[in-house]
Structure 1
Amino acid sequence: MKKARKRKHNPHIPSHIDQAALPAAVYFDHRGSGNWYMSHRDEHGKQRRRNIAPADATLAELHGIMDEASNTDRETLRYLCQQFHDSPKFTELSPRTRDDYAYCRDVLVNQDTRMGKPLGDLAIRRFSPALVQRLVDKIAGEGTPSKAAHVLRYLRRVLQWGRNRGYVDTNPAQGVEAPAERKQRRLPPVAMMEVLIDRAKALGRLHRNEPGSCPAYLSIVMELAYLCRLRGIEVVTLTDANELDSGVLTNRRKGSRDNIVRWTPRLRAAWDEAKAYRARIWTARSYPTPIQPERRPLIVGNHGMALSKSGLDTAWQRFMGKSIDAGVLLEEQRYGLHDLKRRGITDTPGTRADKQQASGHRDQSMLDIYDLSLPLVDPSDSPLPSLSLRNKP
């Protein structure tokens, strides 16, 4: 541990501390109840502060904290992951991405190795593409190819972040083969979809505490996801600003083009039902009505605020589970809310160009994933040869 330079006497430091014996880079902030902190520079060279102990910490405790900090192995994967998660680059990510990366980090650093210690404790500079490939193949071989693919994408990003900031010299995860993920392109039959929508409407009329009930907004979300070919997150982020005279203005994600879905009696009924449900919730809870239309969410929860995507996912999974328990559908017939978008694109009339314009996809190849309709074509035909050619020897 670095020896501390001679300090000037600080009258604010607690009297039980021998100031001459304080470890280097440890300082005392007397404001408030007081805190011991250490100073360091981040990857951008900016001075940063980290509180390490309260004011009543002993000198021995301060030395122990600094000994542990100085003995931290900065060459390990665990240390690099921690630096990435503490960086501004990580905090700029969406909450769902941060949650996914936190899960992938835990999977990586806790992987067992033949050396008898977890992968997180190995020196990152000794990683090779072959080692990363074995790791990915091992996770995929456990029957979880999607998990292996997520871990690989996370490791690539962390190593590239570390390479750009001098933590490592190369990115050994580049060029590693990703496992083939399972393709779940489920297309719910129209009859089953309509039965489940009607079931959600009926159960949504029950009191929320009654057995078998489900949220009243669930059938509305199902209708809008199918009719407008929307993802779940796109449905729950609709507001009154998306209601136009000509139809519903979509708010598509992942680079898809927005469009306006023309009003039909069924779409108008679903939209008006959502507004009526919202009005009942807001009236019952004395919730103030925002003046600006973009501040008025179309889909709200029982609390009156905009429904979150995680809340929608939970309600959907419970609804599907109860439907299976009731014998409405089989376990193998279970499908996701996102599959209603696939059903909507498949049921869109017209050519592939019409379907692409309706779905908002910029790349026509995406229709191979979302449009599962079978085109009706004519049989091949050729003109019959003339009699003279057929009779010619």
Structure 2
Amino acid sequence: MADSDASRSEVWAAYERWQTNQQATDATVNDLIDFYFASPQYTQHLKPSTQRDYDRYSKRIRQVFGAMDPDAITSPLIQMFMDARGSKHPTAANREKTFLGIVMTWGKSRGLVNISNPCDAVKPMPESPGGRYVEDWEYEAFWKYLGTKGHVMHQCAMEIAYLCAARQQDVLALSKNHIREEGLLIIQAKTGKQQIKLWSPRLREAIDLALSTNTHAKIQTPHILRGRTGRGYTRTGFNAVWQREQRAALEGDVIKKRFRFHDLKIKSISDFEGDTQRFSGHKTRSMAEHYNRTPDQVVTLNKARIGTTVWHPDEKDKVSSDQEDS
């Protein structure tokens, strides 16, 4: 086994030696997670944001299952975990179970796990949609408030996110290279999906405003959204301003309730009239509908009743529809 302070390459080398010596039966779930985190499948093929998520999910799995033999994990044990964890944190429980299933499947294909994935038989916990729809007046009120505070870049970020149904990280990553003749190229870091959002006057105005702002700094990165130093925003720095101004706007009675930057995507997809899946770039329609908070408008059933009483205002008595027909 590798030392506790070993590098990823040393852990991976230890795994290969261990597998060669056919000592896989001694592995614990902690070992399995360590080997997975040191593998090329994790280090080379997963995005950094996904790696951070998996590292976070692994902490709870290690606490509960870490010392166990992977072959000793059964579906009832996972269900017990889901019942306990999911009663208060259903979303976290679902993500952690999914992570455990990924590690178990990875281990089985490499001879470290002998049983079938026990996570497959356990259904996910019901999750609330999360987030909320931002009303038009809320959007406009906070957008204008940001302008009074000099946060023009945050105003532009709001516009781009809303008009393009874009995630925050994709908005902050935009550079001049993403500006095309026909529109704005959005590359989704989460899925790799690329879309050119065609120009509208409002989108063009937001991009032009961002490019003409904060141009005094000596260092100018190609980012469309830049801070006072001329560099692109980090998510931490951007969110610090967002959260502070949301609190201030709430205290100043500018808005009645705080909303997340990510809620702008909910508003965008809900407001869009057309194919929301194509517009948002989601892989499935159900994922797009997860963001759509607009009630469906459906026609009511229009079928005449048989043998019912029909009231004629110009007559004193009611006659049945059957009598009318005769």
The structural deviation recorded for 1:388 is 9.5
Matches within 5 A, 1:46-195: 74-92=26-44, 93-111=46-64, 119-141=65-87, 143-170=88-115, 171-195=117-141
The structural deviation recorded for 1:373 is 3.2
Describe the SS at the equivalent of 1:201: helix
CA distance in 2, matches of 1:39, 1:388: 84
Describe the SS at the equivalent of 2:114: coil
The TM-score, its normalising length taken from structure 2, stands at: 0.78
Counterpart residue number, 1:226: 162
CA distance in 2, matches of 1:127, 1:39: 24
CA contact (8 A) 1:278 1:298 kept: no
Give the aligned CA root-mean-square deviation in angstroms.
3.6
Segment of structure 1 superposing worse, 234-243 or 249-258:
249-258
The structural deviation recorded for 1:109 is 1.7
CA contact (8 A) 2:182 2:199 kept: yes
Segment of structure 1 superposing worse, 150-159 or 89-98:
89-98
Partner amino acid, structure 2, of 1:275: L
1:273–1:306 CA distance, 2 compared to 1 (3 A): same
Matches within 5 A, 1:290-309: 296-309=222-235
Counterpart residue number, 1:369: 290
Greater helix fraction, Structure 1 or Structure 2: 2
From 211, 226, 242, the counterpart of 2:178: 242
1:144–1:368 CA distance, 2 compared to 1 (3 A): same
CA contact (8 A) 2:153 2:210 kept: yes
Alignment identity in percent? 25
Segment of structure 1 superposing worse, 95-104 or 237-246:
237-246
Segment of structure 1 superposing worse, 185-194 or 365-374:
365-374
Gaps of 5+ in 1: 1-24, 26-37, 48-72, 112-118, 206-214, 290-295
CA contact (8 A) 2:270 2:294 kept: yes
Counterpart residue number, 2:250: 324
CA contact (8 A) 2:165 2:265 kept: yes
1:391–1:110 CA distance, 2 compared to 1 (3 A): closer
Describe the SS at the equivalent of 1:151: helix
1:257–1:328 CA distance, 2 compared to 1 (3 A): same
Task: Give the number of equivalent residue pairs.
Answer: 301
Segment of structure 1 superposing worse, 250-259 or 98-107:
250-259
Bigger RCO of structures 1 and 2 (CA < 8 A, at least 6 apart): 2
CA distance in 2, matches of 1:236, 1:262: 19
The structural deviation recorded for 1:157 is 1.0
Question: For residues 118-177 of structure 1, what are the alpha-carbon distances to aligned partners after superposition, in whole Å with 9 as ceiling and x for unaligned?
Answer: x32222221111111111211112x11111111101111111111111111022222222
Instruction: Say which one has the larger Rg.
Output: 1
Partner amino acid, structure 2, of 1:136: M
In the alignment, structure 1 residue 390 sits paired with structure 2 residue 323: yes
Matches within 5 A, 1:202-221: 202-203=148-149, 205=150, 215-221=151-157
Gaps of 5+ in 2: 3-9, 20-24, 307-319
1:75–1:256 CA distance, 2 compared to 1 (3 A): closer
